[in-house]
Amino acid sequence: MTPDMIYGAAGIAVFGIGLVGALCAQDRLRRVLALKLCSVGAGFLLLVGAWREPPGTPDPVPHALVITGIVVMVSATAVALALIRRLHSLEAEDER
Amino acid sequence: MIDPLVIFDLLLALGIVALAVAALATRESFAMIVVFIVFGLVSALAWVRLSAPDVALAEAAIGTGVTGALLLKTLHHLRCATGQPGQNATQAQISAPPVPVGVTLANAAFCGLITLGLAVAFLGAPAAGPGFEGLVAQAMPQSGVEHPVTAVLLNFRAYDTLMEVVVLLAAVIAVWQIERGLSDAPAPVMGEVWQGFARLALPAIVVVGTYLLWVGAEAPGGAFQGGAVLAAVGLLLLLTRAYVPQPAHRGIARGAFVLGTAAFALVALLVASGGRVAFEYPLAHAKTLILLIEGMVTLSIAVTLAALFHGREPMALKHEGKDDT
Amino acid sequence: MLELLGAGLIGLGAVFFVAGTVGLLRFPDVFCRLHALTKADGLGLALIALGVALQAGTGGAVFRIALIWGFVALASATCGHLIARHARQMAGGRHD
C-alpha cells in the first residue's frame, strides 16, 4: 500500500463520479460542477504518475501540466457559467 | 507494523471519494457548492501528500477559491432572476421534459465502461518508469530559476504556458460577449463587519500574493498562485463595492487582460530575434526575463479572474432600474 | 522535549476540533452550531499552530505560522458573523 495506489484509485473513482454526474444530472450548475470533478480526478492520475518513492524527487513536468489544466478549467467553467446565466435570463423572459 | 501515514492516506482518499459523491448527491444548490469547496480543499491536501505543493496551492486558490466564488455568484444571479431568493434555483428547469430512464442508464453504463478502461490502463501502466525528472534536473542550471516546476512552466515548456494565458484571455472575451446586455443581479449587502474585514485583509492579501509570485523562483509558488491570490483583492473590492466597474475603465481592463500575453510573446520574439530559439533565454538574463514575464502574467491573471467573477462588461447604458444597492 | 510538548499541543488541538465537529453535528439550530464551531475550532487552531511553531526550526517559519493563524482567526470570525447575520435575516423574513 503506497500513496500512489491509494490516490490513484481515489482519482479514478472521482473521475467516474464526475463523468456520471456530467452525463446524468438534470441541473446545469451540477453538470458544470461534475466536469470540474472530472478534471480533479484527471489531475490525481497525472500527479500519481509523477510521484516517486520518498528519496526520489517527483517529476515536475506533470505538475506543470496539472497547473495548466487547473487554469484552463477555471476559464472553461467561467464561460459555461456565463452561458448558464444567459440561458436562464432568456428562459425567464420567455415565461413572461 | 502499518505506517500510520498509510492509514491517513486511506482515510483521506475515502473522504475525497465520499465528498465527490456528496457534492453531486446534495439536492440543495448552495449546499452542493459548499461541499464542492470542501472537496477541493481536501484534494489539495491529498496533492501535498503526493509531494506536489505547487499544484495543491493552485488547486486551493484557483480550482477551489475562484471556481467556488464563480459558482456562488452564478447561483446568486439565478436566484435573483427567478425572483425567489429563498427557493432552489433549479425550480425553473423542471418544466423541461424528463430524460427517459433508459437514456440515463445507458449513459451511466457508458461512464462505467470508460472508468473501467481508465482503471485497466492505470493498473497496466509500467510502475514508476523513468520520467522527465532526470532531464529537468540536468537542465536546471541553464533555466535561471531554482524551482523545477517554475523552470518547466516558464522555460522548458513555456509555449504551453503562453497558450494557457491565451485561453484565459479568450475566456474573458467570451464572457463579455455572452453577457452583453444582461441585467445585473443586485449585489448582496454584507454589513459592517465584512467591510472592516475587507479593509484589514486587503493590504495583507496584496503582500501574500506578491510574496507567492516572488518565492516561485526557488520554492512552491509562482505566477498562477500569486495571481489567484491577487484576484481575491478584486473580489473583495467588488463585493464591498469599494470599486464599482465603470464603462470608462474598460480600456484599462482590456489593457490588463492583454498585458500578460503581450509581454510573454514580446519576450519570446526578442529572444528569437537574437538568433536563438523563441524561449531559449540567455543565461545571464534568464531570471530577470522569467520574473518580468511572471509579474506581467500575474497582473493579467488577477485582473482577468476578477473580471470573470464580475461577469458582465460594464456598459454605458443602464436601463434596468432595479439596481438599488 | 520540545517535540513532545509540540505533539501534545497538537493532540489537544485535535480534541477541540473533534468537540467542535460533534457540536456541529448534534446541536439543534444554526446559532448553537456556530457557537460550538467558532469557539472550539478557534482554540483548537491556536493550539495546533502553537504546537507546530514549537517544532518548526526557523524564526521565519514561526512568523509564517503566526500569520496563518491570524488570517484564519480573522476569516473564521467574519464568516461566523456573516452566517449568523444571514440566518437571522432569513428567520425574520419567514412567518413561522
Position A50 scores a pLDDT of 85
Q: Which of A1, A75, A78 sits opposite B6 (nearest CB)?
A: A1
Beta-carbon contacts of residue B200 (< 8 Å; ≥ 6 apart): C74
Inter-chain contact A17–B24, Cβ cutoff 8 Å? Answer: yes
Q: Residue A69 corresponds to which cell in the numbers above?
A: 489544466
pLDDT at C12 over 80: yes
Beta-carbon contacts of residue B196 (< 8 Å; ≥ 6 apart): none
Inter-chain contact C85–B204, Cβ cutoff 8 Å? Answer: no
Position B86 scores a pLDDT of 44
Query: Phi-psi category of C29—alpha, beta or left, where left has phi over 0 and alpha has psi -120 to 50?
Result: beta
Inter-chain contact B193–C82, Cβ cutoff 8 Å? Answer: yes
Residue A57's SS3 state is: coil
Nearest CA in chain A to B183: A89
Q: Which of B86, B194, B204 sits opposite C71 (nearest CB)?
A: B204
Q: Between B and C, how many CB-CB pairs are < 8 A?
A: 21
Comparison of pLDDT for B180 and B259, the residue scoring more: B259
CB-count burial class (<10 Å; 0-12, 13-18, 19+) for A32: buried
Please compute the mean of the pLDDT values over residues C46-59 and round it to a whole number.
Answer: 86
Closest Cα partner for B76 from C69, A85, A10, C89? Answer: A85
- Yes or no: say if A23 and A16 are a contact pair by the CB < 8 Å rule: no
Position B149 scores a pLDDT of 85
Which residues on B lie below 8 Å from C74 (Cβ)?
Answer: 197, 200-201
- Touching subunits for chain B (3+ Cβ pairs under 8 A): A, C
Position B78 scores a pLDDT of 85
Position B96 scores a pLDDT of 62
Inter-chain contact B148–A62, Cβ cutoff 8 Å? Answer: no
Please compute the mean of the pLDDT values over residues B238-245 and round it to a whole number.
Answer: 81
Please compute the mean of the pLDDT values over residues C43-47 and round it to a whole number.
Answer: 89
Inter-chain contact A79–B171, Cβ cutoff 8 Å? Answer: yes
Position B322 scores a pLDDT of 32
Please compute the mean of the pLDDT values over residues B7-29 and round it to a whole number.
Answer: 91
Please compute the mean of the pLDDT values over residues C75-83 and round it to a whole number.
Answer: 87
Position A43 scores a pLDDT of 93
Domains in chain C, number: 1
pLDDT at B248 over 60: yes
Q: Which residues of B touch C (CB under 8 A)?
A: 86, 190-191, 193-194, 197, 200-201, 204
Q: Which of B98, B137, B182 sits opposite A89 (nearest CB)?
A: B182
Which structural domain range is residue C59 located in?
Answer: 2-93
What DSSP character marks residue C94? S
pLDDT confidence band for C93 (50 / 70 / 90): low
Given CB atoms, is A74 within the 8 Å cutoff of chain B? yes
Position A16 scores a pLDDT of 92
Q: Between A and B, how many CB-CB pairs are < 8 A?
A: 268
What is the value of pTM for the model shown? Answer: 0.88
Comparison of pLDDT for C69 and B140, the residue scoring more: C69
- At CA B305, angle to CA B180 and CA B165, rounded to 5? 100
Position B271 scores a pLDDT of 84
The identity of residue B217, as a single letter, is A
pLDDT in tens, A59-92: 888 899 999 999 999 999 999 999 998 888 888 8
Residue C31's SS3 state is: helix
pLDDT at B88 over 60: no
HEC string of chain B equals: CCCHHHHHHHHHHHHHHHHHHHHHHCCCHHHHHHHHHHHHHHHHHHHHHCCCHHHHHHHHHHHHHHHHHHHHHHHHHHHHHHCCCCCCHHHHHHHCCCCCHHHHHHHHHHHHHHHHHHHHHHHHCCCCCCCCHHHHHHHHHHCCCCCHHHHHHHHHCHHHHHHHHHHHHHHHHHHHHHCCCCCCCCCCCCCHHHHHHHHHHHHHHHHHHHHHHHHCCCCCCCHHHHHHHHHHHHHHHHHCCCCCCCHHHHHHHHHHHHHHHHHHHHHHHHHHHCCCCCCCCCHHHHHHHHHHHHHHHHHHHHHHHHHHHHCCCCCCCCCCCCCCC
- Touching subunits for chain C (3+ Cβ pairs under 8 A): B
Smallest Cα distance from B100 to chain C, Å: 38
Given CB atoms, is A31 within the 8 Å cutoff of chain B? no
Q: Which of C71, C78, C93 sits opposite B194 (nearest CB)?
A: C78
Nearest CA in chain B to A7: B13
Nearest CA in chain B to A49: B128
| Least confidently predicted of B26-35, B86-95, B298-307 | B86-95
Smallest Cα distance from B276 to chain A, Å: 23
pLDDT confidence band for B83 (50 / 70 / 90): low
Whether the ipTM is more than 0.90: the answer is yes
Given CB atoms, is C61 within the 8 Å cutoff of chain B? no
Q: Residue B199 corresponds to which cell in the numbers above?
A: 479593509
For an interface test with B, the pick among A74, A79, A89 (most B C-beta atoms closer than 10 Å) comes out as A74
- Yes or no: say if A33 and B36 are a contact pair by the CB < 8 Å rule: yes
Position B56 scores a pLDDT of 93
- Do C and A touch, counting CB pairs below 8 Å (3 needed)? no
Please compute the mean of the pLDDT values over residues B75-97 and round it to a whole number.
Answer: 61
pLDDT at A22 over 70: yes
Smallest Cα distance from B214 to chain A, Å: 18
Comparison of pLDDT for B313 and C6, the residue scoring more: C6
Which residues on B lie below 8 Å from C82 (Cβ)?
Answer: 190-191, 193-194
Pick the CATH number of A3-95 from 1.10.10.10, 1.10.287.3510, 3.40.50.170, 3.20.20.20: 1.10.287.3510
Given CB atoms, is C7 within the 8 Å cutoff of chain B? no
With DSSP H G I counted as helix, E B as strand and the rest as coil, what are the percentages for chain A, rounded to 5? Answer: 85, 0, 15
Return phi, psi of residue B321, to 5°: -90, 10
pLDDT at C47 over 50: yes
Inter-chain contact B193–C74, Cβ cutoff 8 Å? Answer: no
pLDDT at B219 over 90: no
pLDDT confidence band for B129 (50 / 70 / 90): low
Centre a 10 Å sphere on the Cβ of residue A54 and count the other Cβ atoms it contains.
9
